[in-house]
Amino acid sequence: MTDSRKPVCLVLGAGAGIGGTVGGRFAMEGYHSVLCRRSDQADLDRLTNDIRDRGGEASGCLLNATQENSIEDLVEHTESETGPIEVVVYNLGAQVGNKSLAETSYKIFELGWRMATFGLFRVASSVCPRMVSRGRGTILVTSATAAVRGNAGQHSHAAAMGGRRMLCQTLNAEFGPKGIHIVHILIDGSVDAPDTLGKLLGPERFAELRRTRGMAHEGLMLPSAIAETYLHLAKQPKSTWSNEIDLRSFSDSPWWND
């Protein structure tokens, strides 16, 4: 029996940057996008309404991904109520800004792991059996420079992201041959995103940065452009998959250069 419902694109970490934009892009391609984020129902409604205004299907859900059973229930509920999850966009970050070792509490260190590593393990544990039974599925994992090199002040972030990357490789080793496409996407530069960079810098410095480096200068990565690459990856046929890819602005040095 074929599932007559629309395939679902499940986005974990759907703010007004990569997550929300990718969700919107997949909705335009015929997916039902389920956008999940921790807080701000109003902004979440804005995102899903915007998708619907453009003719797409979307629903939203507030979710504390570190809470027990939150991800597991979401997967269960989405599969039974909305449709088969064909694409997962794992977009939960764990950047806490630069903190010295003394400033990095055990709690912060553990939280990084819960968000960036364990959360991916949990969602994979929930969706992979379903994807295997359908013989297909895609898990797009947003990652960061900290996944490939540790830098001062990044104790929590790098440990968590390094674990995330190795987890992507173990998942691919087991599930690639079963038709599940897992991609580690290294976001190796600053994204023009009010919910992450904007909050990190504050409104004034963010506006200044957009003026001097972003916008016409094209020195900040655009979520809409990132979304095109996510979509391309999801469309790659089984014969020709990417598992690791990097992304940065033309004016940003790659991680291996600075």
H or E, element range at 86: strand 85-90
Judged by CB under 8 A, does residue 147 bind its own copies?
yes
If one asks whether residue 209 binds its own copies (CB under 8 A), the answer comes out as no
Burial of 212 (0-12, 13-18, 19+ CB in 10 A): exposed
Which residue lies nearer to its own copies by CB, 16 or 167? 167
Residue 6 vs 176, nearer CB to its own copies: 176
Is residue 139 within 8 Å of residue 171, measured between CB atoms? yes
Please report whether residue 222 would count as binding its own copies according to CB under 8 A: yes
Q: Which stretch binds its own copies (CB under 8 A): 25-33, 41-49, 109-117, 201-209?
A: 109-117
Q: How far is the CB of 240 from its own copies (least distance, A)?
A: 4
Kindly tell me the sign of the dihedral angle through the C-alpha atoms of 148, 152, 157, 159: positive
Torsion angles phi and psi, residue 99, rounded to 5: -135, 135
Confirm or reject binding of residue 102 to its own copies (CB under 8 A). yes
- SS3 for 130? helix
By the rule CB under 8 A, 236 interacts with its own copies: yes
Write out the binding residues for its own copies, residues 148-187 only, by CB under 8 A. 148-155, 158-177, 179, 181
Please give the C-alpha separations between residue 246 and each of 112, 183, 230, in angstroms, as whole numbers: 22, 11, 11
> How many residues interact with its own copies (rule CB under 8 A)?
82
Minimum distance between the CB of residue 60 and its own copies, rounded to whole angstroms? Answer: 26
Q: How far is the CB of 200 from its own copies (least distance, A)?
A: 19
229 scored as a contact of its own copies (CB under 8 A): yes
| 141 forms part of the interface with its own copies (CB under 8 A) | no
Q: Which residues, 6+ apart, have CB-to-CB distance to 89 below 8 Å?
A: 9, 10, 11, 12, 13, 19, 22, 23, 26, 140, 142, 230
